Amino acid sequence: MDFNTLVPGKTGLAGIDVDALLLVVVGAKMPATLEGPLGSVIAEAVAAGDFALKAGQVLYAHRVAGVKARRVSFVWAPDAGPKAMRRAVAAGVALVKSGGASQMAVAVTGAAPLMDAGAAEALVLAVHDATYVYRATKPSAPSVPKLERVTLVCNPAEVDALAAGLARGEALAAGVALARECANRPANHCTPTYLAEQAQKLGKSHGLKVEVLDRKDCERLGMGSFLSVAQGSEQPPKFIVMRWMGAGKDVAPLVLVGKGITFDTGGISIKPAAEMDEMKFDMGGAASVLGTMRAVAGAKARVNLVGLIPACENMPSGRAVKPGDVVKSLSGQTIEILNTDAEGRLILCDALTYAERFKPAAVVDIATLTGACVIALGHHRSGLFSNDEALAGELLAAGEAALDPAWRMPLDDEYDEALKSNFADMANVGPRAGGAITAAMFLKRFTSKLRWAHLDIAGTAWRSGANKGATGRPVALLSRWVLSKAAAPAPAAKSGRAGRAKKA
Ligand code: BES
Ligand code: MN
Ligand code: ZN
């Protein structure tokens, strides 16, 4: 799919020659700017009660006389901000989707100011979101007519900003799509080995350095906690290290750590059967790291970013770790595993310790960590925990701006009491109450040398029910944050430098 901008000619919106025109009508008053046949359609529809200037209103018109676009969807929006744009596109694209349109134009009409770069970015994401179909293991999935080109109609003064927003949106959308594709794949396809292959592939296509540590490597390092989770499975564990070096060698990197449990049965503390299939999504954190690496590398951002993914299955077997077993983490601290279903923290703690070697500016781990977080925050906001005020503020702001919101949760010392053990430095679980917080407190014990944040995405990484599937969250939040840390791109060379032909 291709996105571009267009400044309409003398004939205005009516003269734009596309399969479908999505016209977003902004504001509480009929826009005076909308004249001609399109203006008449909407005025008549309002008069007849078929369209109103309020939320949820969509009007579809076919072959309007005097309008070049074959189909027109009118959608109302309260303003032209990113959120409104996302909703408008979601509502409007549905109509275009069924009609076999391969080129669509989107125009905003109404009270100024109209779109900005952020809204253009949101538009790209919304179009991709509305047209995404999972096919990897369902080739019979109904085919959606392929949208080849989406054109954003704007004023000459807006072209540069909106084109930049569209380009950012495309890099981001590719990252979101990669995360969804990985997470949607069933666990017999998406194994730790598959995740490692995806990382290698991404490395080749996007210029990342990728290294995959196997069981032996992890043993040598002393990742006893990670390996204790992996030991019950026939699938070999993989510890994936990805590096995007977009800034100078001496610039401290940001590190992302993604939970990569490709299937979580609970292990010996086995889960109930109902909805256990959804535990294929337990690598959603890993998927979001892959997706963010792709978005950041795709944008050629001038930032150093390391992605770490401890990947394994959590299975019960004769070799599986048992309740009461004590293991030694890479940090040297010992852990009494009271519940083998609290495995995410056991793989993340070794990855967090491993992150220290990069002397990072900040570390963010992303994990479908606790059912308790879903109880606390539902499916709208991810849980955010951090030992650093500034970092927490940055991530919250990135989430708001990217329409991928999070909510800060506490890390008071009082919660740490719950992790006391008579047989090791700590237990891996506390009581049920405050479960998302004790999980974060466990991780905090491995982050004393780091500026660290933890995102619990158990409620936001996938949807259940009829629309079951991965959301691609929080790729948008993470990418926005990482890109906010990037140095501005080098200005395009102006004079004809040696070896570089200047285009006419
Ligand atoms: N992957 C699960 C968390 C989860 C459960 C996410 C349901 C989304 C929906 C995690 O490994 C887990 O099993 N956590 C336990 C922790 C408990 C044993 C302390 C949980 O949340 O029940
Ligand atoms: Mn579990
Ligand atoms: Zn899990």
CATH code of the domain in which 380 resides:
3.40.630.10
Q: What CATH number is attached to the domain comprising 132?
A: 3.40.220.10
pLDDT tens per residue across span 404-450:
999 999 999 999 999 999 999 999 999 999 999 999 999 999 999 99
- What's the 356 CA to ligand 2 centre distance in angstroms? 25
Ligand 1 lined by 341 (C-beta under 6 Å): yes
Q: How far apart are CA 230 and CA 320, in angstroms?
A: 8
CB atoms within 10 A of CB 83: 15
Q: Please tell me the predicted confidence (pLDDT) of residue 30.
A: 79
Element of type H or E holding 245: strand 238-245
Ligand 1 lined by 313 (C-beta under 6 Å): no
The four Cα atoms 443, 447, 450, 456 give a dihedral, to 10 degrees, of: 10
Looking at the fold, whether 252 and 324 belong to one and the same domain comes out as yes
Query: Residues whose CB is under 5 A from ligand 3 (ion)?
Result: 261, 264, 282, 344
Q: How far apart are CA 286 and CA 202, in angstroms?
A: 14
Do the domain assignments include residue 254? Answer: yes
Matching residue, tokens 């959308």: 173
Q: How far apart are CA 436 and CA 259, in angstroms?
A: 15
Q: Quick check: helix, strand or coil at residue 474?
A: coil
Looking at the fold, whether 159 and 300 belong to one and the same domain comes out as no
Do the domain assignments include residue 502? Answer: no
Looking at the fold, whether 46 and 141 belong to one and the same domain comes out as yes
CA distances from 463 to 384, 471, 493 (A): 20, 7, 46
Q: What is the pTM of this model?
A: 0.95
Q: Please tell me the predicted confidence (pLDDT) of residue 495.
A: 47
Report the b/e string of 399-419 with b at 16+ CB within 10 A.
Answer: bebbbbbbebbebeeebbebb
Res. 500: pLDDT tops 50: no
Active site residues: 271, 345
Looking at the fold, whether 145 and 203 belong to one and the same domain comes out as no
Structural domain total, the chain: 2
Contact assessment for residue 360 and residue 306, using Cβ atoms and an 8 Å cutoff: yes
Which pLDDT band holds residue 497 (cuts at 50, 70, 90)? very low
Q: Please tell me the predicted confidence (pLDDT) of residue 367.
A: 99
Q: Average of pLDDT values for 85-92? A: 90
Ligand 1 lined by 99 (C-beta under 6 Å): no
Which of 370, 375, 456 most suits a substitution to test ligand 1, by most atoms within 8 Å of the C-beta? Answer: 370
pLDDT tens per residue across span 365-381:
999 999 999 999 999 99
Ligand 1 lined by 270 (C-beta under 6 Å): no
Q: How far apart are CA 18 and CA 104, in angstroms?
A: 6
Res. 496: pLDDT tops 90: no
**End-to-end C-alpha distance for the chain, whole angstroms:** 27
Looking at the fold, whether 9 and 50 belong to one and the same domain comes out as yes
For residue 378 the two structure tokens come to: 């539902």
Contact assessment for residue 109 and residue 29, using Cβ atoms and an 8 Å cutoff: no
- Of 144 and 495, the structure prediction assigns the larger pLDDT to 144
| Nearest alpha carbon, ligand 1 atom 13 | 341
Q: Please tell me the predicted confidence (pLDDT) of residue 210.
A: 98
| Nearest alpha carbon, ligand 1 atom 7 | 371
Looking at the fold, whether 168 and 214 belong to one and the same domain comes out as no
Query: If you write DSSP's letter for every residue of 386-397 in order, what string do you get?
Result: ES-HHHHHHHHH
Res. 491: pLDDT tops 70: no
Looking at the fold, whether 370 and 405 belong to one and the same domain comes out as yes
State which of 123, 141, 173 marks the end of a domain. 173
Do the domain assignments include residue 496? Answer: no
pLDDT tens per residue across span 138-157:
999 987 777 899 999 999 99
| pLDDT cut 90: percent of the chain above it | 86
Q: Is the peptide bond before 491 cis (omega within 30 degrees of 0)?
A: no
Looking at the fold, whether 212 and 344 belong to one and the same domain comes out as yes
Q: Please tell me the predicted confidence (pLDDT) of residue 20.
A: 93
pLDDT tens per residue across span 308-344:
999 999 999 999 999 999 999 999 999 999 999 999 9
Which pLDDT band holds residue 504 (cuts at 50, 70, 90)? very low
State which of 173, 193, 222 marks the end of a domain. 173
State which of 173, 199, 233 marks the end of a domain. 173
Q: How far apart are CA 277 and CA 312, in angstroms?
A: 16
* CA-derived radius of gyration, the chain: 25
Q: Please tell me the predicted confidence (pLDDT) of residue 77.
A: 92
Q: Please tell me the predicted confidence (pLDDT) of residue 115.
A: 87
- What's the 325 CA to ligand 2 centre distance in angstroms? 16
Q: Please tell me the predicted confidence (pLDDT) of residue 95.
A: 65
Do the domain assignments include residue 178? Answer: no
- What's the 340 CA to ligand 3 centre distance in angstroms? 10
DSSP 222: T
Which pLDDT band holds residue 100 (cuts at 50, 70, 90)? confident
Looking at the fold, whether 321 and 465 belong to one and the same domain comes out as yes
Q: Which of 12-16, 347-351, 485-489, 497-501 has the lowest mean pLDDT?
A: 497-501
Q: Please tell me the predicted confidence (pLDDT) of residue 99.
A: 67
Res. 493: pLDDT tops 80: no
Give the position, in ligand 1's atom list, of the atom nearest the Cα of 266.
13
Mean pLDDT of the chain: 94
Domain that holds residue 316: 185-484
Cα angle: 468, vertex 472, 478; to 5 degrees: 150
Do the domain assignments include residue 470? Answer: yes
Q: Please tell me the predicted confidence (pLDDT) of residue 501.
A: 40
pLDDT tens per residue across span 188-241:
999 999 999 999 999 999 999 999 999 999 999 999 999 999 999 999 999 999
| Nearest alpha carbon, ligand 1 atom 9 | 371
Do the domain assignments include residue 304? Answer: yes
Looking at the fold, whether 267 and 342 belong to one and the same domain comes out as yes
Q: Within 13 Å and on the Cβ side, how many CA atoms surround 42?
A: 26
Q: Please tell me the predicted confidence (pLDDT) of residue 502.
A: 37
Ligand 1 lined by 264 (C-beta under 6 Å): yes
Do the domain assignments include residue 303? Answer: yes
Q: For 27, left (φ over 0), alpha (ψ -120 to 50), or beta?
A: left
- What's the 344 CA to ligand 2 centre distance in angstroms? 6
Looking at the fold, whether 83 and 111 belong to one and the same domain comes out as yes
Ligand 1 lined by 373 (C-beta under 6 Å): no
Looking at the fold, whether 417 and 320 belong to one and the same domain comes out as yes
Ligand 1 lined by 458 (C-beta under 6 Å): yes
Q: Average of pLDDT values for 87-94? A: 86
Do the domain assignments include residue 504? Answer: no
Ligand 1 lined by 314 (C-beta under 6 Å): no
Give the position, in ligand 1's atom list, of the atom nearest the Cα of 438.
19
Q: Please tell me the predicted confidence (pLDDT) of residue 498.
A: 42
Q: What is the sign, positive or negative, of the torsion defined by CA atoms of 165, 248, 304, 444?
A: negative
Res. 387: pLDDT tops 80: yes
Res. 284: pLDDT tops 70: yes
Res. 113: pLDDT tops 70: no
The four Cα atoms 192, 194, 200, 206 give a dihedral, to 10 degrees, of: -120
Q: Average of pLDDT values for 251-259? A: 98
Q: Within 13 Å and on the Cβ side, how many CA atoms surround 374?
A: 12
Res. 483: pLDDT tops 60: yes
